[in-house]
Structure 1
Amino acid sequence: MAKELSLSQSTVSRVWRAFGLQPHRSETFKLSTDPYFIDKVHDVVGLYLDPPERALVFCVDEKSQIQAVDRSQPVLPMTPEAPPRVTHDYIRAGTTTLFAALEVATGKVIGPLHRRHRAEGFKKFLTKPDREVPAGLDIHLVLDNYATHKTPAIKTWLLAHPRFHLRFTPTGSSWLNLVERWFAELTNKRIRRGVHKTVQALEKDIRTWIAAWNTDPKPYVLTMTADEILERLASYLNRIPDPED
């Protein structure tokens, strides 16, 4: 750019810094094509900001195919001069699936593990909050549109448990489900840094981390209203070139 504009590299760098431009970076995005996107954003965000009386709100999702990974060589521990180091190659020992329900008000997590990611596992998972939440309270679940959440067996179970209310996020909008932020913490602070020779060791590590989390849970607080979220998305849309131009 400096050569093209007949400027010095330092001048171009100053302009980039002044306007916060970072041309060396790129990020991904995805816009939902859900025809009820606006209605669902208002529904889910309204549930976060103003939950119903005598009800608990949970954000629910599955983290599937969590791999038990053993490194090909021992981990080099952290030193004053260097971070911990692991080999780039690894040995797979199997996978597990974590079903998690993040209680919005408190940040506590209900997180059973299952070896297979099936509708039967999700149905079994629903019995956990049903047992642990007091009988006098309704249960609102914020979750995505995955097929395991809508099978005939699940619909039949829900009919027999009318205090459960499913609130679906828009298609392609996992960012609206607060449990995804908790999954990121679990991945970065435990799974990615761990070494597990067996699936059983991985599952034990995850259960230990959940138990430690629940001793001092931290709720995720949404600070934007639905209208503010939609306005921000609209500003992104305005930056996308019209393909007909």
Structure 2
Amino acid sequence: HRTIATLVADTTSAAISPSQVGRILAGLDLKPHKVRGWLTRRDNPQFWERAADICNLYLNPPNDAVVLSIDEKTAIAARSRKHPGRPAGPGRPSRQEFEYIRHGTVSISAALNVRTGEVLTQPIVRNNAATFIDFLRTLERTINPSHAIHVVLDNGASHIARKTKAWLADHPRWHVHWTPPHASWLNQVELFFSALTRRVLRHGDFPSRDDLIDKMDTYVIAHNTTAKPYRWTYDARPLTAT
């Protein structure tokens, strides 16, 4: 408020107090001290066509087909707290030590079965086309050969690489549904990554990379025992003014 009052005085020669600035901003419901990230996307027909295609796939999956949502979660930090935390008590949240020790990072590939909610994850060393194709081969071997495979992919480098597209072209039962640019949130596996972050990673304590992998695997196994498909509500239509 003091900075704005000074700027107004310097540029307009009008005297205004910091408290008056505060009242004006409050009256206009303006909060110039707050900034949120924003990514402008082009509102073109291709966005809505791709979004509608993916939503229709979720809501009306083809018969005798497996529908997969695939992506990677990279650079997951294996960190252990430098000192033990304190458990929660009446009227007091649990406390977690601020300082931590790094033990490296882990990246994973994940495939979510949209029909069942079950997830297959696999640790990866590199996030490149060769690694991604190896993951596709694993899925290819485990899925009934009589079923078509519909897969939702974003526009990550390993997904749109020439070698990846060549592999997909050589396997005609794979049908790719591409998310629009800057709309990877249409990929349902992101919902699983969000749950994994909240329930395992955010407040976890991992003394090694192997411990981090073990705890993620334990979570995935438990998730799959009670897995249910996500309820998809976005209908791929532009919002209309009311």
- TM-score between both structures, scaled by the size of structure 1: 0.80
Alpha carbons 1:58, 1:140 under 8 Å: kept: yes
Q: Does 1:182 align with 2:182?
A: no
Amino acid corresponding to residue 205 of structure 1 in structure 2? K
Please list every run of 5 or more consecutive structure 2 residues that lacks an aligned counterpart in the other structure. Answer: 1-18
**Structure 1 residues 126 and 91: alpha-carbon distance in aligned structure 2, compared to 1, 3 A threshold:** same
What does residue range 62-81 of structure 1 map to in structure 2 within 5 Å?
62-81=72-91
What does residue range 74-93 of structure 1 map to in structure 2 within 5 Å?
74-93=84-103
Amino acid corresponding to residue 208 of structure 1 in structure 2? T
Residues in 2 aligned to 1:101 and 1:154: alpha-carbon distance in whole angstroms: 16
Instruction: Return the match for 1:143 from 150, 153, 173.
Output: 153
SS at match of 2:75: strand
1:121-164 deviation per Cα after TM superposition (whole angstroms, max 9, x unaligned): 21111123212221111111111101111222212321332111
2:173 paired residue number: 163
Residues in 1 aligned to 2:38 and 2:92: alpha-carbon distance in whole angstroms: 34
1:57 paired residue number: 67
Residues in 2 aligned to 1:77 and 1:162: alpha-carbon distance in whole angstroms: 54
Residues in 1 aligned to 2:30 and 2:145: alpha-carbon distance in whole angstroms: 53
**Structure 1 residues 198 and 4: alpha-carbon distance in aligned structure 2, compared to 1, 3 A threshold:** closer
- TM-score between both structures, scaled by the size of structure 2: 0.81
Q: Does 1:223 align with 2:233?
A: yes
1:243 paired residue number: none
Amino acid corresponding to residue 94 of structure 2 in structure 1? P
**Identity across the alignment (%):** 35
Q: Which has the larger radius of gyration?
A: 2
**Structure 1 residues 100 and 34: alpha-carbon distance in aligned structure 2, compared to 1, 3 A threshold:** farther
Residues in 2 aligned to 1:22 and 1:85: alpha-carbon distance in whole angstroms: 34
Q: CA RMSD in A?
A: 2.8
Instruction: Return the match for 2:223 from 213, 217, 221.
Output: 213
1:44 paired residue number: 54
2:143 paired residue number: 133
Alpha carbons 2:128, 2:157 under 8 Å: kept: no
1:85-111 deviation per Cα after TM superposition (whole angstroms, max 9, x unaligned): 212222111111111111111110011
1:29 offset after TM fit, Å? 4.1
Alpha carbons 1:34, 1:171 under 8 Å: kept: no
**Structure 1 residues 192 and 41: alpha-carbon distance in aligned structure 2, compared to 1, 3 A threshold:** same
1:170 offset after TM fit, Å? 0.6
Please list every run of 5 or more consecutive structure 1 residues that lacks an aligned counterpart in the other structure. Answer: 239-245
